[in-house]
Structure 1
Amino acid sequence: MTSPPAARIHLMTTFFLVTCGALGGACFGLLLGGRVAAVVAAGAAGPGAGTGAFLSRRQVMAFFQPGIVPVDGYAEGIADAVLVDIATYQAAAFPLPPGGLTEEERDARRTPAYRVAAVDGLPSAVRVSAVDALNAVDQGRDTDHAQAAIDALFLTVYEHRRIR
C-alpha cells in the first residue's frame, strides 16, 4: 500500500526528470546538429528518463513505506570488517602449528582489528561485542573462551543486519 503523498512526490519527480531530459536533449541536439538532431535527441532523452523513473518506482515506493527503516550499508560493512579483522587476529593469536607466527606478525594483525573496532559508524552492540572478543583474544590463554567471544560477535553482526 503506497501512501498518496509518496505517489504524488514520485509522479512530480518523474515529470520533472522527463521534462529536464527532453529539454537537455533538445539543447544538446541543437548544439550538435541543428533542429532535426534536437528533435531526435529530445525524443530519445525524454522517454529514456521516463523509463528509468518507471523502473525505479517500486524502490522509491518502498523507501516511503511507514515502519521500514532504510538499511545503513556503511554500518553493516564496518560490522563485517570488524568480524573479519578480529577473526584474522584470532587466527594469528592461536596459530594451528604452535609458534607458526612471530610477534611482529601478530601485532600486524592486531592493529587493524583495533582500528576498525574504533570506527565511528560502528553500531554500539557490535562495538561492545568486538571489545569482548578482542579482550578474549588478547588474553591468549583459553582458545575456547576466545572462540565463544568470536561466535558472540558473529551473532551480533548477524542480528544487526536488517535484511536476512
Structure 2
Amino acid sequence: MAALTFPRALVVVTSGIVFLIAGLLGALLDGWEGALAAGLPASFAAALGSVIVRRRATAAYDDAREEAMERGYAEGIAQYVHVAIANYEAAVFPLSGPDGVIPEERTARRTSAYKIASFDGVPTQVRKAAATALAALDDADLACATDAMKALASAVHQHVTHDRRLRPGR
C-alpha cells in the first residue's frame, strides 16, 4: 500500500466527506438508492476538484512546512551552541576545583564549542554572543565569562521567542 501523502489525503478526505454528506442527504430523501445516487457522483466531483486544486493546496502546505523547518533548525542550532559553550565553561571553571578537569578534556570541549559556534545556520545575534562568551572563557575571567554567558542565554532566548507574525491568509 502506498504511503498516505498530503495530496492523497486531500483527495481521500475531501471525497469521503462529500460522499458522507451527499449520501446522508440522499438516504433521507430516497433511501439507500438515493444515498448511492447522490453520494457517488458528488464524491467523484469532489475528488476531481481536489486533484485540480491540489497543486495550489500543496504549495501552501509546502511553504508553511519549509518555513517551520528553517525556523526549527535555527532554534535548535542556537540552543546547541549554548549547550556546547556551557560545557566549555564547565571545563574552564570546574566546580570540583582547579584540578577537576584535565587539560586534554578542556581542549576537547573548547574545540567542540568553537566548531559548533561556527556552524552556518547559527543566527547572527547568537553568533556574536557566542564569540564574546568564547573570548571571555579563553581569558578565564569568571566575572566576564558569567556576564557573557548570561548575554548568550538572553540572545538564544530572544531568538527562540521572537515575535512571529503569520502571513495574510494563514
Q: State the TM-score, normalized to the length of structure 1.
A: 0.58
- Name 2:105's counterpart in structure 1: 105
> Which residue type is aligned with residue 134 of structure 1?
L
> Which residue type is aligned with residue 133 of structure 2?
A
Q: Give, in angstroms, the shift of residue 17 of structure 1.
A: 2.9
- Name 1:118's counterpart in structure 2: 118
> Which residue type is aligned with residue 155 of structure 1?
S
- Show structure 2 runs of 5+ residues with no match: 1-5, 16-46, 48-60, 164-170
Residue number among 11, 22, 33 corresponding to 1:18 in the alignment: 11
Mapping of 1:1-164 within 5 angstroms? Answer: 17-18=10-11, 63=64, 72-96=71-95, 97-140=97-140, 142-162=141-161
Which whole-Å CA distance do the structure 2 matches of 1:145 and 1:16 have between them? 55
Which whole-Å CA distance do the structure 2 matches of 1:156 and 1:118 have between them? 16
**How many residues get paired?**
112
**CA shift in 2, pair 1:15/1:119, >3 Å:** closer
SS at match of 2:144: helix
Q: Give, in angstroms, the shift of residue 144 of structure 1.
A: 1.3
- Show structure 1 runs of 5+ residues with no match: 1-12, 23-45, 47-59, 64-68
Q: Give, in angstroms, the shift of residue 18 of structure 1.
A: 1.5
Deviations 1:80-112 (A, max 9, x none): 000000011001011121211111010111111
**CA shift in 2, pair 1:19/1:95, >3 Å:** closer
Q: Give, in angstroms, the shift of residue 78 of structure 1.
A: 0.5
Larger radius of gyration: 2
Question: Taking every aligned residue pair, what percent have the same amino acid on both sides?
Answer: 44
Which whole-Å CA distance do the structure 2 matches of 1:16 and 1:74 have between them? 27
154-163 or 13-22, which moves further after superposition?
13-22
Which whole-Å CA distance do the structure 2 matches of 1:88 and 1:101 have between them? 12
Q: Give, in angstroms, the shift of residue 21 of structure 1.
A: 9.9
**CA shift in 2, pair 1:124/1:20, >3 Å:** same
Which whole-Å CA distance do the structure 2 matches of 1:16 and 1:146 have between them? 53
SS at match of 2:99: coil
**CA shift in 2, pair 1:21/1:108, >3 Å:** farther
